Amino acid sequence: MSETVVSEMETPVGIPAPGGSAKAEPAPAPSMAGRNVRMESKKLNFSYGPKQALWDITLQIPEKTTTAFIGPSGCGKSTFLRCLNRMNDIIPDTRVEGDVLLDGNDIYGTGTDIVDLRRRVGMVFQKSNPFPKSIFENVAYGLKINGLVPRSETPERVEKALRRAALWDEVKDRLDTSAMGLSGGQQQRLCIARAVAVEPEVLLMDEPCSALDPIATGKVEELIHELQRDFTIVIVTHNMQQAARVSEFTAFFMLGRLVEHDRTEKLFTNPGQKITEDYITGRFG
C-alpha cells in the first residue's frame, strides 16, 4: 500500500508538525557495539515534489539481523524502505538529501550502478508479483538477466533458492508449470526465492504478509528467521505482533520522522518515548 504524504496527516502530541519550526529531538539509537553495520542512513530527507515525506532519518541496520519498521499509515516507513535501494527513483519529481550507505559507500553517489545496487539490495513487495512464466523461469530470471552463473549451474541455484524459501518440496515436481497456478502464500514465497537467488546482501520486505492468511503468514515468518542467517532483512509491517516475533531491532516512524529505534524487546516492553508507548498500546494509529 502506498503511503499518503505525511504533511496531510494530523500531528499527534509530541511530534513537531511537518515543516514547522520546532526542532525534533534525534531518535535514540541502540548500541551496535560488536555488530557490523550493513546499511545506514545519515540525515536523510526525501520529498515528493514540494511535499517533504522524510525528515533527517539517521539509522543503522546491522548485518544478518531482521529490523522492523513500524508506524501508522503514511508515517514514511515504506518511503524510507524504498530509499534503501533507490526504488523511489522511478517516481517523477522526487528529491533526496543526505546519505544512504551500503558497506560504507553512498548509494546515491555519482556513478552508482542502479542495476547492481538492486541486485545487492533485493525487494519483496506487499502484493506477490510472479511473472507469467514457469516456476523455474521465475526463480532463474535474475540469474539470467544479470549473467551471474553459467547456464549449466542455473538448475542448482534455482533449487537452492526454492529450498531457502521453503518451497522446494511443494513445487519440485512441477517446475515447468505456470507460477500463476500457485496459491497466494506460495506465490509470495516464490517471489522471495526469486529475490534470494541472486544472493543479495540485504533483503527489503514491504508488508510481505498483508495479503496472506494466518497459515501462509506463519510460513513466511518462519522463513524470515531462516533467511537472516545469510541475509540482512528489513521488513515494514503494520502488525505489531509480527514485528515482535520476527525482528531483533525495531524502528518506529511517525509523520516522516524516526521517533525511536531500539532492540525489539526493549522498544515493546520499555519504550523510551511516550508516543511510542501510545502507538504500540493502541492509543492511536
Model confidence pLDDT, tens digit, residues 2-18: 444 444 344 444 455 44
Interior CA angle at 216 toward 220 and 181, to 5°?
105
Mean pLDDT of the chain: 89
Q: For residue 240, what pLDDT is reported?
A: 93
The pLDDT of residue 30 is above 80: no
Lowest mean pLDDT among 25-34, 71-80, 183-192: 25-34
The pLDDT of residue 254 is above 50: yes
Q: How confident is the model at residue 35 (pLDDT cuts 50, 70, 90)?
A: confident
**Structural contact between residues 204 and 174, judged by C-beta atoms closer than 8 angstroms:** no
Q: How confident is the model at residue 33 (pLDDT cuts 50, 70, 90)?
A: low
Q: How confident is the model at residue 200 (pLDDT cuts 50, 70, 90)?
A: very high
DSSP 8-class letter at 12: P
Greater confidence (66 vs 14) lies with 66
Q: For residue 13, what pLDDT is reported?
A: 43
Q: Which residues of 118-150 are buried (b: 16+ CB within 10 A; e: fewer)?
A: bbbbbbbebebebeeebbbbbbbebbeeeeebe
User: pLDDT of 77-125, one tens digit each?
Assistant: 999 999 999 999 999 999 999 999 999 999 999 989 999 999 999 999 9
Q: In which residue are the cell numbers 556513478 written?
A: 111
One DSSP character per residue, the chain reads: -PPPPGGGSPPPTTSPPTT-SSPPPPPP----TT--EEEEEEEEEEEETTEEEEEEEEEEEETTSEEEEE-STTSSHHHHHHHTTTGGGGSSSEEEEEEEEETTEETTSTT--HHHHHHHEEEE-SS----SSBHHHHHHHHHHHTT-S-GGGHHHHHHHHHHHTT-HHHHTT-TTSBGGGS-HHHHHHHHHHHHHTT--SEEEEESTTTTS-HHHHHHHHHHHHHHTTTSEEEEE-S-HHHHHHH-SEEEEEETTEEEEEEEHHHHHHS-SSHHHHHHHTTS--
Q: For residue 12, what pLDDT is reported?
A: 47
Q: In which residue are the cell numbers 555488530 written?
A: 35
Q: How confident is the model at residue 170 (pLDDT cuts 50, 70, 90)?
A: very high
Determine what percent of the chain is predicted with pLDDT higher than 90. Answer: 78
Whole-angstrom distance, CA of residue 175 vs CA of residue 139: 10
User: pLDDT of 148-165, one tens digit each?
Assistant: 788 899 999 999 999 999
User: pLDDT of 137-150, one tens digit each?
Assistant: 999 998 988 787 88
pTM score over 0.85 = yes
Average of pLDDT values for 31-42? 85
Average of pLDDT values for 187-205? 95
Q: For residue 149, what pLDDT is reported?
A: 83
Q: For residue 8, what pLDDT is reported?
A: 39
**Structural contact between residues 53 and 5, judged by C-beta atoms closer than 8 angstroms:** yes
